[in-house]
Amino acid sequence: MQFPEGFLWGTATASYQIEGAVNEGGRGTSIWDTFSHTPGKVYRGDTGDIACDHYHRPEEDLDLMADLGLKAYRFSVAWPRIQPDGSGPPNQEGLDFYRRLVDGLRQRDIVPMLTLYHWDLPQALEDRGGWTNRDTSERFAEYTGFVYEALADTVPFWITLNEPWVASWLGHGYGLHAPGKQDAASALAATHHLLLGHGLALERMRSVGNPGDNQLGVTLNLHPALAARDRDADEEAARRVDGQANRLYLDPLFRGEYPEDIVSYYGGRGVDGPPVRDGDLEKISGPVDFLGINYYFRHHVRDAPDETPSQIPFSDLAVRPIVPHAGEKTAMGWPVEPDGLSEMLVRLKDEYTDAPIYVTENGRAVHDYADPNGDVKDEERISYLDSHFRAVHGAMEQGVDLRGYMVWSFLDNFEWAEGYSKRFGLVYVDYATQKRTPKSSARWYAGVIRRNGPDG
Ligand code: IFM
């Protein structure tokens, strides 16, 4: 099984999950600093204060990436390092940190893929309403301009947003992520302002010009939604979940409209829809050069008419998500379903876009530990990745233009509300000493990259 020549094999991380050094380099406070320091929000009270201490160890981490033979590395920029208060002139120390990182990648022949927003909104903007305030979209475009002007000569891949569903719904609808709101109207407003921010950021980057052949795109987390039982009501429930989780993002980005069924579902319950103004949808649906997809599992759902809105995702849709009894689960409790990824890729091609696609995240949590010899033998992760690589290869045989695959994650890291209890890395991190140990999967993945495919 061979992948096309030049296929971009890489790994991914995000700023708050690995950097630490939250009070250094002129960085301002982000909503995740506030949230993680609020008792009861994150498992065991973990915070990103130190995380993997990557801010102080970029060279060591870059050398590890080179050892693995990575072709690409996806990382995110912490907005509060660039604009500590969310607006105004850029903080040069913040830009310099990322300049050193991308130069270090280039010296090692690793292609940088930069995400502008992976959830660490400056707290100062949250204090003014955050993503529920339309002005945040403008501020995002301003911030994007500073980063793009500084790094466009070196970074060929630019991702505006990571997983706007998570930022909107886990952050504003269900309260499980920062800023911890629990209100569907806020989630719909955040959705619209994130997408508008994406559109404005694209315009801003394009107005700066294109020093190389830079590719601009956005990353969505997409999950096929399936009826848990063979019942019409569950089919309907799956359609609502597909509407909120997938179409609420795909339709405005690729068709310039919000899905009518979802807007009227919420409208029928007295919840205001996305606060669209004239011209917004044209901006949101401006062409992208690629689409990033993060894939982890399918949603299996059943109709739950008595459900009332709570912290359980989709409760406000009168839906109960379930995990099928049969089949393997990850340490997150997520079902292992490689076919869901190929299904989604084929659907994107058939229903939404001809743009090239990159898997910008996929991977699994394992209950990893270092054995007495210091080895971390994560056979489960190897078989998970192997099955997903084979699934995407199948989708490519059906005509999907997939150009690269970023494994989540390079390092074990701060898994948001789960703190450090969940390990997704190819490289094990001993948080007490910050020692990095490539797991068996890292060695295996290095072989996949060398052979340009999982066989051999
Ligand atoms: O750790 C996260 C990442 O930040 C976004 N996508 C899903 C990953 C695993 O939950």
Mean pLDDT (the chain, rounded) = 98
3 located within any domain: no
Amino acid at 46: D
75 located within any domain: yes
Rounded CA separation 66/446 (Å): 10
CA of 27: how far to CAs of 231, 343, 447, in Å?
52, 41, 38
How many whole angstroms from 17 Cα to the centroid of ligand 1? 9
Give per-residue pLDDT as tens, 188-206: 999 999 999 999 999 999 9
Could you tell me if the CB of 119 is within 6 A of ligand 1?
A: no
Give per-residue pLDDT as tens, 12-35: 999 999 999 999 999 999 999 999
How many whole angstroms from 339 Cα to the centroid of ligand 1? 20
Res. 456 pLDDT band, cuts 50 70 90: low
Token duo for residue 7 = 């296929």
Give per-residue pLDDT as tens, 294-306: 999 999 999 999 9
2 located within any domain: no
| Predicted pLDDT of residue 307 | 96
Residue 90 CB coordination number (10 Å): 19
How many whole angstroms from 415 Cα to the centroid of ligand 1? 7
Give per-residue pLDDT as tens, 104-158: 999 999 999 999 999 999 999 999 999 999 999 999 999 999 999 999 999 999 9
350 located within any domain: yes
Rounded CA separation 424/411 (Å): 7
Give per-residue pLDDT as tens, 308-329: 999 999 999 999 999 999 999 9
Rounded CA separation 427/408 (Å): 11
Rounded CA separation 222/330 (Å): 18
Token duo for residue 277 = 């103004």
348 located within any domain: yes
Looking at residues 90-97, what average pLDDT do you find?
98
120 located within any domain: yes
Give per-residue pLDDT as tens, 232-283: 999 999 999 999 999 999 999 999 999 999 999 999 999 999 999 999 999 9
Give me the percent of the chain exceeding a pLDDT of 70.
100
Which sign, positive or negative, has the C-alpha torsion 102, 104, 109, 110? negative
How many whole angstroms from 43 Cα to the centroid of ligand 1? 16
State the closest ligand 1 atom to the C-alpha of 294, by its place in the atom list counted from 1.
Answer: 6
- Whether the CB-CB separation of 243 and 261 falls below 8 Å is answered with yes
Rounded CA separation 160/157 (Å): 10
State the closest ligand 1 atom to the C-alpha of 17, by its place in the atom list counted from 1.
Answer: 4
State the closest ligand 1 atom to the C-alpha of 409, by its place in the atom list counted from 1.
Answer: 1
Domain containing residue 104: CATH number: 3.20.20.80
Number of independent structural domains in the chain = 1
41 located within any domain: yes
Ligand 1 pocket mutation, candidates 52, 294, 411, 418, criterion most atoms within 8 A of CB: 294
Residue 211 predicted with pLDDT over 80: no
Residue 432 CB coordination number (10 Å): 6
390 located within any domain: yes
Active-site residue set: 163, 361
Rounded CA separation 191/259 (Å): 13
Q: Whole domain around residue 131: which residue ranges?
A: 8-451
Could you tell me if the CB of 176 is within 6 A of ligand 1?
A: no
Rounded CA separation 200/194 (Å): 10
Cis peptide leading into residue 409 (ω within 30°): yes
Residue 421 CB coordination number (10 Å): 15
